[in-house]
Amino acid sequence: MENLNLIDTFSEFKEIKNIDRPTMMVVLEDVFRGMLIKMYGTDENFDIIVNIDKGDLEIWRNRIIVPDDQVKDKNREIGITDANLIDTDYELGEEVTDEVKFSDFGRRAILAIRQNLTSRILELSKEQTYNYYKDKVGDLITCEVYQVRKKEAYVLDDNQNELVLPYEQQIPGDILRKGEPVLTVVQSVELKNNQVIVMLSRTSNTFLEKLFEREIPEVFDGLITIKRIARIPGERAKVAVESYDERVDPVGACVGQKGSRIHGIVRELRNENIDVINYSNNLQLFIARSLSPAQISEMKINETTKKVQVFLRPEEVSRAIGKGGSNIKLAGQLTGYEIDVYRNILEEDEDVDLEEFSDEIEDWVIDALKAVGCDTAKSVLRLTVSELEKRTDLEVETIEDVLRTLQTEFE
């Protein structure tokens, strides 16, 4: 047979991925045997030899030599005269093995083989890609950025599979460039419209947890357990850790000397600020730790409504709330409780600087009050609405809102 060069004839197979050699050989043989059954009614007396390295495929047919006038099945039997044309030493009853020429199949058969092979290979490739990534959900992988679009980025893995990193799963500040590597976690995998869709993430809590496992040996080995994670990607995160070995300081081990261990994680997360705290089954202690760096004076917990009232000294309130409310938001996510913060006035005559109300009163209003000498809450409360209106040019409605806010502080 004129050897079938699979590399040239089936050039579209360059897209084959994740298919090992034995599987490829089985598919090729299966497709050609299907063709033989269609053409000859059986494939039992055919031998198919596949050479993946050379791209060759050979088909050999085995027939029994019978007298010329007794040939009933030309596919299984061959007359002695025709057998001697192959080799003059053949005798009756012997088996003749001759090569089936690929050109004998005809153009339509060749096209059918090509289409069948392409369909089978692509289907098998999708199945193996799906099974591969189904077992890798939650694992870190490094891919190469292939294409960046408005709503998503497409990346390629080591097997040239195209994976998806949606824009909302990218860390604010991520700058993805074609050809550059990007570290992600496998978020999900699904078969949709006969396509394998692998979704990646850099904003999930799992991504942060896997970074801890990669950078901190004690976490990888299980000496330190990550109990809970709360995160605002690219901005701030809180990670509660616990060690069952009293000799291991979980926070110290995670942070490292002078932050050496946590630094690699922070850098990968585009300088996301990470607070590592000790987990505790003592709810009050855990809530207090979650609001770090603020120091809590008093706490009232309602386990039924999952709400907690936290009282702090005035100078600690802004620390508890954090920039843009990030600290109290993450503390709530970490503990599972809705946290309300209150200023705790320890002495009756104690006053509060207006700056401590910046989370409730807009900055431009505070600036207007300070411009007329009202630097503290009580200095504002000593004045009437009409006096404040004349001195500050603020609207009456705004002044009344400010007075109500300040008065609540001392009630």
Q: For position 392, which CATH number holds?
A: 1.10.150
- 236-243 and 77-79 strand pairing: unpaired
Quote the pLDDT of residue 17.
52
Question: Which among 95-109, 235-249, 391-405 has the top mean pLDDT?
Answer: 235-249
C-alpha 130/C-alpha 128 separation (Å) is 5
116 versus 208: the higher-pLDDT residue is: 208
Residue percentage of the chain with pLDDT more than 70: 91
Last residue of a domain, one of 183, 203, 223: 203
Counting the structural domains of the chain, the total is 5
Name 208's Cβ contacts closer than 8 Å, sequence gap at least 6: 229, 231, 237, 239, 265, 269, 274
One domain for residues 34 and 122: yes
What kind and span of H or E run contains 99?
strand 95-99
The residue behind tokens 């390629």 is 156
What number is the average pLDDT over the span 226-240? 95
One domain for residues 318 and 394: no
Quote the pLDDT of residue 374.
84
Last residue of a domain, one of 75, 109, 130: 130
One domain for residues 333 and 370: no
Residue 208 domain-assigned (yes or no): no
What number is the average pLDDT over the span 395-404? 90
Residue 349 domain-assigned (yes or no): no
Residue 195 domain-assigned (yes or no): yes
pLDDT digits (tens, 9 = 90+) for 4-60: 444 444 444 544 555 666 777 787 788 888 888 888 888 888 888 877 666 677 888
One domain for residues 126 and 10: yes
Residue 14 domain-assigned (yes or no): yes
Residue 209 domain-assigned (yes or no): no
One domain for residues 158 and 68: no
139 touches 200 (CB < 8 A): no
Whether 224 shows a pLDDT value over 90: the answer reads: yes
The lowest-confidence range among 204-213, 320-329, 343-352 is 343-352
140 touches 214 (CB < 8 A): yes
Residue 262 domain-assigned (yes or no): yes
> How high is the mean pLDDT of the chain?
85
C-alpha 79/C-alpha 70 separation (Å) is 8
Quote the pLDDT of residue 54.
64
What are the tokens at 218? 């004690």
Quote the pLDDT of residue 53.
64
178: domain range? 136-203
* Maximum C-alpha span of the chain: 128
Q: Strands across the sheet with 273-278, in order?
A: 224-232, 236-243, 273-278
Quote the pLDDT of residue 205.
96
The lowest-confidence range among 123-132, 234-243, 262-271 is 123-132
One domain for residues 83 and 183: no
Whether 220 shows a pLDDT value over 70: the answer reads: yes
312 touches 306 (CB < 8 A): no
Residue 210 domain-assigned (yes or no): no
What value, to the nearest 5°, has the Cα angle with vertex 158 and ends 144 and 211?
65
Domain at 253, CATH number: 3.30.300.20
pLDDT digits (tens, 9 = 90+) for 285-307: 999 999 988 888 888 999 999 99
Last residue of a domain, one of 151, 174, 203: 203
**Is 0.75 surpassed by the pTM of this model?**
no
